[in-house]
Chain A
Amino acid sequence: MGLALSGAAAQSNLRIGLAEDPDVLDPTLARTYVGRIVFASICDKLFDIDEKLNVVPQLATAHETSADGKTVTIKLRPGVKFHDGETFDAAAAKYSLDRHLNMKGSFRRPELASVTSIDVVDPATIKLNLKEPFSPLLAQLTDRAGMMVSPKAAEAAGDKFGLKPVCAGPYKFVERVQQDRIIVEKFADYWNKDQVFIDKITYLPITDSTVRLANLRSGSLDMIERVLATDIKTVRDNPKLKLVTAVELGYQGLTINLSNGPKADTPLAKDARVRQAFELSIDRDALNQVVFNGEFVVGNQWINPTNPYYQQAFPVPKRDIAKAKALLKEAGVTGRMSLDFMVPNNPETRQVAEVLQSMVAETGFDLKIRVTEFATSLKQSESGEYQLYLIGWSGRSDPDGNSYIFQVCGQPQNNSGYCDKDVDAWHNEARIKSDPAERKKIYEKVAAKYLPEGSIKYLYHRRVLVALSDKVDGYKQMPDGLIRVVGVKLK
């Protein structure tokens, strides 16, 4: 008994508090942000990102894009094993990618839509054949689309694979009790095992942020994600806690209904000058100060100001009521303009909405805040039952993932109905070019047109806030906000 107890005590266990319960743990079928946090410990990907958002190899070792951009050859890391002991090779990589492409209900299909087929060149090399050059592809392979699953286990489990995922990450899946915990254990045959120091990780979904923080303070947890901006001071004031942050890849903004249904019949939708006046009525800095104690990062683009693709030529505009009023006059708008403002129900967004309401009221916009439950608001945004919608996007490492589906005609998330031939052409051009400098030039053209007259007014970028106990050592926050556990130690 004594031996057993001391053995158990010697096993280090990192307890991480998650803000939600992840959905199914199958990289092909998964779709939640919180699920990606768990995947970070169990499923390695072909590529990963570094602190500066560069794509770096993980299960791949190198890649080469052909001159015409239509094939991407990927060299695979030798000596990698899946959790069930199966070998990771080109056949397994092809299987995983084919599964993402063909499985019924796969959420990865749109991400890999540019891939037509995958060839096994030799046991350590695969070749991806593309319909047309598609530069965001590598970035897609740094997320779930690049996760490799054990063909044997996936074949046996079918669509139930997510109940017991078998991948090639540093930790192997042990147990899950829905809404309670997910336990993973160090994988002895991991290719980079010298960098894995903790024996076991327990993920505990705790939805209430106050309770999550209380657990960290009481020592029941070692690490929590999504700390509230208003709790930053509490964490900083506690000598036993550390706070690590990164600016989110995505954005928070206001979507204006431009042409989706009868509700789009407003001067705001019809006249770009009115939209500019609206934007000039907003003081983003004040908004950040009032609601988030100045802890977030203000922004006016689909990527944050630290992103290499941020357009410095278009800085965050300052509030200018006089100019806003002049623009409204020019557009022939008289009297107060009443607007239906849909706001998903959570305390933070409600506060943002109220601050915006009082800011734009000075220019003559009368926002009627309609707090709506999240699932309902999604449906209503699809069917155009709004004039203004306060909604964000979690973000992707490639700028295309933050802009294309919202700004290009007829794209699935373009619920505001914005459509411009030039903007479409530039976006498509940026997808083909692989040189970052060239792409940035193209996006500058998009910004010049879309920022003043487009359908989204970008407001700010949240900070990914992770709080940890001082017992946790060696943790580095990556810009995608996920919790990577390789290299982390527990004192």
Chain B
Amino acid sequence: MLTFLSQRLLQIIPTLILVSMLIFGLQQLLPGDPALIMAGEERDPKVLEEIREQYRLNEPIPIQYFYWIKGVLAGNLGESMRLKASVSSLVAEKLPVTLQLAAMALVVALGIGIPAGIISAVKKDTAWDYGANVFALWGLSTPNFWLGILMIFLFSVTLGWLPASGYVRLGEDWRASLATTVMPAFVLGNAIAAVLMRHTRSAMLQAMSADYVRTARAKGLYEKRVVLKHALRNAMTPVITLGALEFGTLLSGAVLTEQIFTIPGFGKLIVDSVFNRDYAVVQGVVLVTATTYIVLNLLADVAYVLVNPRLRG
């Protein structure tokens, strides 16, 4: 197990280096001059030159990369040109927000998708099944921004139940925090719920026609028990894997959702930073996201190996 772990850890290093180069290189391809954006309306040539010098924008790209990566290795992700705040502090401020949103969205997705899938499989070819399928189709084809604006109009403007936007930290006031995140979490979880529903349905249908389910029924077990204990348990394995994979969709989907609901998370940070050509922030955020993916991947691999020792080879 140790050899496996050390091998995988060693593989991460070149991946991260490659990722960091890609982030840096791709960003340099963006048209537009960060110094020009930074200088705002008062674009005095002397001030522009000073900005370029201060942020090493005059240097060749490999040199800029060298300074950046040197800082990163020392634990310094750089400083936002626009806000004069350290990128690490911005990341530390925003990451919990997006994670909260993603976790809530996952709850929404699992809470709606799996029961809907089970019902639709058990009640196949009934109104329940058709209803669930229509819901899934709707969930898959509804754009986030449209659903978001629609919900704001219904629940905030018309009914006045929920705040239209903004964010309150969980630790500050948990009720207000839930009130500000429930709509974005629903919007974000909605599409994933649809995917999960479809997969749960087909996995359940497969499981329900399996021999062990027939045996369970033959033994005279209650239908509820057959469905929930025997069929569902086996059907869930691929669904849970899919749920984990969809976590990535959550993080990227958060970009638009955070923009609509003005949730100050990773998504909003990255969009604003790209428009302002605040390179250090974009680099920092993408690097942290990539690292998170890589680490999650590693954890998943480790989990597989723990479950199935034959994979250690």
A contact residues vs B (CB 8 Å cutoff): 21, 23-24, 26, 29, 31-33, 104-107, 109-111, 159-160, 162-163, 177-181, 204-208, 210-211, 214-215, 217-220, 373-376, 378-380, 382, 393-394, 412-413
> Once the chains are docked, how many angstroms separate the CA of A163 from the CA of B83?
8
- Nearest to B274 among chain A residues (CB) is A375
Does B40 belong to the interface (CB within 8 Å)?
Answer: yes
Does B291 belong to the interface (CB within 8 Å)?
Answer: no
A210: chain B residues at CB < 8 Å are: 149
Q: Mark B183-222, 1 if CB is under 8 A from A, else 0.
A: 0000000000000000000000000000000000000000
Q: Tell me whether A218 and B156 are in contact (CB under 8 A).
A: yes
A-B contact number at CB 8 A: 134
Min CB gap A418→B, angstroms: 17
B85: chain A residues at CB < 8 Å are: 163, 178
> Once the chains are docked, how many angstroms separate the CA of A313 from the CA of B272?
44
Does B32 belong to the interface (CB within 8 Å)?
Answer: yes
Q: Tell me whether B32 and A31 are in contact (CB under 8 A).
A: no
Q: Tell me whether B164 and A220 are in contact (CB under 8 A).
A: yes
Min CB gap A16→B, angstroms: 13
- Nearest to B38 among chain A residues (CB) is A31
Does B37 belong to the interface (CB within 8 Å)?
Answer: yes
Does B90 belong to the interface (CB within 8 Å)?
Answer: yes
B47: chain A residues at CB < 8 Å are: 105-107, 109-110
A23: chain B residues at CB < 8 Å are: 40, 82-83
- Nearest to A107 among chain B residues (CB) is B42
Does B44 belong to the interface (CB within 8 Å)?
Answer: yes
> Once the chains are docked, how many angstroms separate the CA of A159 from the CA of B84?
8
Given A207-B262, A218-B164, 6 other A-B contacts at CB below 8 A?
A: A31-B38, A107-B39, A163-B84, A179-B268, A206-B262, A375-B37
Q: Tell me whether B166 and A180 are in contact (CB under 8 A).
A: yes
Q: Tell me whether B272 and A21 are in contact (CB under 8 A).
A: yes
B32: chain A residues at CB < 8 Å are: 373, 375-376, 378-379
Top 9 A-B pairs, shortest CB-CB distance: A31-B40, A375-B32, A180-B264, A110-B44, A376-B31, A218-B156, A215-B164, A179-B264, A376-B32
Min CB gap A238→B, angstroms: 10
A374: chain B residues at CB < 8 Å are: 275
> Once the chains are docked, how many angstroms separate the CA of A23 from the CA of B277?
13
A-B contacts, 11 of them at CB < 8 A, read A33-B41, A177-B93, A179-B264, A180-B167, A207-B259, A214-B153, A217-B157, A373-B31, A375-B36, A378-B32, A412-B45
A107: chain B residues at CB < 8 Å are: 39-40, 42, 44, 47
> Once the chains are docked, how many angstroms separate the CA of A219 from the CA of B260?
18
Min CB gap A259→B, angstroms: 18
Does B57 belong to the interface (CB within 8 Å)?
Answer: no
Does B224 belong to the interface (CB within 8 Å)?
Answer: no
Does B51 belong to the interface (CB within 8 Å)?
Answer: yes
> Once the chains are docked, how many angstroms separate the CA of A33 from the CA of B54?
24
Q: Tell me whether B153 and A205 are in contact (CB under 8 A).
A: no
Does B223 belong to the interface (CB within 8 Å)?
Answer: no
Does B225 belong to the interface (CB within 8 Å)?
Answer: no
B160: chain A residues at CB < 8 Å are: 218-219
> Once the chains are docked, how many angstroms separate the CA of A163 from the CA of B82?
12
- Nearest to B37 among chain A residues (CB) is A375
B167: chain A residues at CB < 8 Å are: 180
Q: Given the known A-B contacts A211-B152, A211-B260, are A178 and B93 also in contact in the complex, defined by CB atoms under 8 Å?
A: yes
Q: Given the known A-B contacts A104-B50, A217-B157, A376-B32, are A24 and B149 also in contact in the complex, defined by CB atoms under 8 Å?
A: no
Q: Tell me whether A162 and B84 are in contact (CB under 8 A).
A: yes
Q: Tell me whether A32 and B40 are in contact (CB under 8 A).
A: yes
Within 8 Å by CB of B46, from A109, A159, A379, lies A109
- Nearest to A161 among chain B residues (CB) is B84
Does B269 belong to the interface (CB within 8 Å)?
Answer: yes
- Nearest to A159 among chain B residues (CB) is B84
> Once the chains are docked, how many angstroms separate the CA of A218 from the CA of B276?
30
> Once the chains are docked, how many angstroms separate the CA of A413 from the CA of B261?
36
> Once the chains are docked, how many angstroms separate the CA of A376 from the CA of B93?
29
Q: Tell me whether A206 and B165 are in contact (CB under 8 A).
A: yes
Q: Given the known A-B contacts A105-B54, A107-B47, A379-B33, are A26 and B84 also in contact in the complex, defined by CB atoms under 8 Å?
A: yes
Q: Mark B265-287, 1 if CB is under 8 A from A, else 0.
A: 00011001001110000000000
> Once the chains are docked, how many angstroms separate the CA of A220 from the CA of B166?
9
B152: chain A residues at CB < 8 Å are: 211, 214
